[in-house]
Structure 1
Amino acid sequence: MPDGPLFTPLRLEALIADVAGRYAGASRFTRGFVPSKLKRDPATAAILAHAQRVGGLGHVLDLGCGRGQLGLALLLSGGASRITGMDIDAVKVAEAGEAAQGLPARFEQADLSRAALPEVDTALMADVLYQLPDGCQVEVLDRMARAARRRVVMRLFDPDLGWRSNLGMVMERARRAISREGTAVAPMPVPQVVARFEAAGFRCTVVPCWAGTPLPNVLMLAERGGA
């Protein structure tokens, strides 16, 4: 459980600069997005700190990896030994692959609602579950549980946090409407997510992960029994 940051602001800033430098050949938007996302998203420091605290996450499967910046940050900080990233967006996957040259990382295009998942040490998913069709979320969780030998790390949208959840729904629907992705958002109640992993033999903890933002984000850490 993350009980305090292990990354000082200067150390995190240097790491972000190292990751951003790998996207020098990407689009102008991506060159701005990558460092901004890593710096402003509370999940960055929380997940990096957790990886350091447990002695590394080993081979990480990053589901919905996007441009791959979090996975590369884990690799460059020693928080992961290998990254396998999967995302439905072919353009983002290509940018991730270019940025990862020379590192033990592989990125591939995949539809997470039905993709087969390789066995890994850690299954990681940040801000993706609630964007998947409601009817496939439970099955995706069960596939993650089968794939993860040691642990699962998820940043989740909690629909039961009052004003935070209401605001988060408005913001997400607006974002999806602007990007023409549709406005369907189906965040699964966090206790239901936890129950799936506990039924599969994991011990789960859930902590806030919204520092400095009004969003209803929480971090779920699931350790396989005996891990």
Structure 2
Amino acid sequence: MPDGAPNSLPDDRLIEAAAARYAGASRFTRGYVGSKLRRDPSTAAILALARGAGGLGHLADLGCGRGQLALLLLLSGAAARVTGMDYEEAKVAEARAAGAGLPADFTRADLVSAAVPDCDTALMVDVLYQLPEAAQAPLLDRMARAARRRVVLRLFDPDRGWRSAFGMAMERAGRAIRRDGAAVRPMPVPAVAARLEGMGFRCAALPCWAGTPLPNVLLVAERRA
């Protein structure tokens, strides 16, 4: 596998089926959903993981946003049921509308303190490093206790040299524009893995930045038998 490259993208028909569920959303959301599913390396990487594992079962998607990845996994048969949680009510409302009629439940929650629902797989993409530093390890602990089979995280790796420097500069610029004074302090990937391994998981981390200059890695923690 080339450096940073996930498996090939899912079939366009699958992406179109997921994107079609947002037909009633705003023009921005309709464009965002399709583009995100096609261009973000995590789409292919997580779908490939799910297929290789024989499915993710009941998926808890923490920081689900508009829910497009969770719904794609559900529509593909890679997840049997979805529980999504996100802080932004507007995004949660769009996820609820898109998931109507499917075994999916989306709710507003503050991941700093929210309980993680019992699930087979706990998923969190690009969220951990955005939380206050003091909240990151406790959330990992709650995910580990809730997940019967695995925890899957797309992480910002602060130890990837120029990629990390570039990613940090982008984060700081974005927060300056939004006037968000929160510091950016990603938890080192080995520290994340060590914490999950201490709670009964076996961890592996792979690059997940294909086609981007970002320091993203996919950490998969499988519960030991």
Given the two structures, how large is their TM-score scaled by the length of structure 1?
0.94
Pairwise mapping of residues 163-174 of structure 1 onto structure 2 (< 5 A)? Answer: 163-174=162-173
Map of 1:54 onto structure 2:
53
Q: Is the 8 A contact 1:75 1:81 kept in 2?
A: yes
Number of aligned pairs? 221
Percent identity of paired positions between Structure 1 and Structure 2: 67
User: Aligned partner of 1:65: which letter?
Assistant: C
Alignment of 1:108 onto 2:113: no
User: Aligned partner of 1:168: which letter?
Assistant: G
Map of 2:220 onto structure 1:
221
Unpaired runs of at least 5, structure 2: none
Alignment of 1:153 onto 2:144: no
Given the two structures, how large is their TM-score scaled by the length of structure 2?
0.95
User: Aligned partner of 1:170: which letter?
Assistant: A
- Report SS of the residue matched to 2:11: helix
Q: Would you identify which runs of 4 or more consecutive aligned residues in structure 1 move more than 4 Å?
A: none
Unpaired runs of at least 5, structure 1: none
CA RMSD of aligned residues (A): 1.3
Distance, in Å, in 2 between the alignment partners of 1:182 and 1:33 is 26
Pairwise mapping of residues 16-31 of structure 1 onto structure 2 (< 5 A)? Answer: 16-31=15-30
Pairwise mapping of residues 156-195 of structure 1 onto structure 2 (< 5 A)? Answer: 156-195=155-194
Give how far 1:183 is off.
Answer: 5.0
Provide closer, same or farther for how the CA distance between residues 32 and 182 of structure 1 changes in structure 2, counting only shifts above 3 A: farther
Provide closer, same or farther for how the CA distance between residues 188 and 4 of structure 1 changes in structure 2, counting only shifts above 3 A: closer
Q: Is the 8 A contact 1:203 1:224 kept in 2?
A: yes
Give how far 1:4 is off.
Answer: 6.7
Distance, in Å, in 2 between the alignment partners of 1:172 and 1:215 is 11
Give how far 1:176 is off.
Answer: 2.5
User: Aligned partner of 2:137: which letter?
Assistant: V
Give how far 1:148 is off.
Answer: 0.3
Alignment of 1:125 onto 2:124: yes
Map of 1:205 onto structure 2:
204
Distance, in Å, in 2 between the alignment partners of 1:106 and 1:224 is 25
